[in-house]
Structure 1
């Protein structure tokens, strides 16, 4: 292993992440043959195959699973060294990798645009996933900092709230419940629901809301991602519970309707999160400070008009 390069370890970690040589090549801006060559060279240094290939399917061998643990530690240590060097030079330069809850992608790019106007020298990268995936990214040190709702209890993190995160019930624009000014939770039960997938923060809010009311909703469809849920609701396939921050365009253009159900909006908080084991680079520290200082104002300006009623908690 003494002749293995950091480049080979990065390629190995990326292939292991996607379990695809083609997707790893795309992510690293390399050609698939170049990725294959790097993996073959690393396997030569290790003396064992790291992946099993069956057609297009790729999986880690036992040796690959062991080596991945150490490769991630090496790469994380290298990133910490780079961050420390940048701090010593007092530079806000280099790469900043931000992990986003998939729901946060509706507003973070615009917030990031404000940030990068003041920090033009940064190479900013976004990694998007549901809550379960984002926790794994933090665990693997694949992101410097994360924007998410419920912070992970399973990791030792610093989680700081920066803004309200309301969730509301939505329906197609011709739904009969819209004729009721303030529907009860009980009145929702005759209708089916389109729910987000397990592992998402939105699904956790949905489950918690009905558990708190000791009611069991009828889920007629489970879909990955907010866009799929919105499209299904607009098509009349069921009701949904979604973050208000995913609904700006649809509500403004009358494509979907908000139901003013009792006990809603369900308000949680957005957090900026990083693991305590990771030393933040000057760039990551600057972004953290910017979000804490500007995030609440930004969300209020962008979404406040969509929520004229007082939050119910």
Structure 2
């Protein structure tokens, strides 16, 4: 039997190394783990000494892992995942469902996922949740690395090893200022809408991805005036009369948005769906399995749809 485990450090040190890889600095890793910076630095130094190889190096303000560091992180995640699954299985045997649910969502999903998770946690109050938010490109990277139990997309990456569960409609609607010349008209030609100054989400956004694919389908080019990284900022820019846009209905507050008109444009809205995506090779924890069962019961989502749409 290999004796490597006798000198590769403690479980806590492996956890610290994983946090360093995810957050990019000792300060950020310490903050995420609720430890002091000197403690994190000392434990990382001890781990490097135990392995006998440098595990990271400085690039500007960020730390980058060496090849040895990346190998350590890959194995450390497997080890930590085994402990977590064991903990949840033992807890489940005691008649409880506890543990940590790790879920990463694209930006637009942040408007409704808290409601879904909130209701789920009422059923399992001992569960803790780690929620990450990013654009489609960032969440796709987390998906590829297997960092989370689930990732939430409207346009998930197409890979055979990804398992998808459709759970909620997602319509992208055309919007304009209430006093815009297109507001109140019926069946506006898509080409006419496209000539108006358009406010677009940033590259890597799922909303932008859907809009661009849709416009390609109808051989129509938008008059992009500005690129903006936030749905909220786009809504305020529309209210200020800076242009028109296309956003998910899930970005609205209950009752709509004052100062914004939803336009009746031909070939719109863009109809997509929300998916829970998971890596097929990643074992499903009891908590993740419970969430999957929860969202597959359609009646559980009726209240969510009423609140958000």
Q: What TM-score range do you get, normalising by the shorter chain? A: 0.7 to 0.9
Alpha-carbon distance in 2 for matches of 1:57, 1:279: 31
Superposition map of 1:214-225 within 5 A: 214-225=219-230
Instruction: State the Cα deviation string for residues 197-238 of structure 1 (Å, max 9, x = none).
Output: 222211111101110110121222222232232233333332
- Does the 8 Å contact 2:198/2:222 carry over to 1? yes
Partner of 1:170: 175
- Does the 8 Å contact 1:167/1:267 carry over to 2? yes
SS in 2 for 1:176: coil
Unaligned stretches of 5+ residues in structure 2: none
Worse-superposed segment, 186-195 or 78-87: 78-87
**Large movers: runs of 4+ above 6 Å:** none
Q: CA RMSD in A?
A: 2.3
SS in 1 for 2:238: helix
Worse-superposed segment, 49-58 or 193-202: 49-58
Worse-superposed segment, 175-184 or 7-16: 175-184
SS in 2 for 1:59: strand
Work out whether 1:190 is the aligned partner of 2:213: no
Residue 258 (structure 1) shift: 1.6
Change (3 A) 1:220 1:156: same
Of residues 42, 51, 60, the one that matches 2:56 is 51
Partner of 2:80: 75
- Does the 8 Å contact 1:155/1:275 carry over to 2? no
- Does the 8 Å contact 2:171/2:272 carry over to 1? yes
* TM-score of the two chains, using structure 2 as the length reference: 0.88
Partner of 2:271: 267
Instruction: State the Cα deviation string for residues 251-274 of structure 1 (Å, max 9, x = none).
Output: 634132222211122111112222
Change (3 A) 1:121 1:76: closer
Unaligned stretches of 5+ residues in structure 1: 305-313
Alpha-carbon distance in 1 for matches of 2:94, 2:155: 35
* TM-score of the two chains, using structure 1 as the length reference: 0.87
- Does the 8 Å contact 1:95/1:122 carry over to 2? yes
Change (3 A) 1:25 1:100: same
Change (3 A) 1:229 1:23: farther
Work out whether 1:297 is the aligned partner of 2:280: no
Partner of 1:288: 292
Partner of 2:10: 5
Instruction: State the Cα deviation string for residues 135-194 of structure 1 (Å, max 9, x = none).
Output: 322332321123322233235122111121111112223222215333211012322222
Change (3 A) 1:112 1:155: same
Alpha-carbon distance in 1 for matches of 2:160, 2:131: 21
Residue 119 (structure 1) shift: 1.1
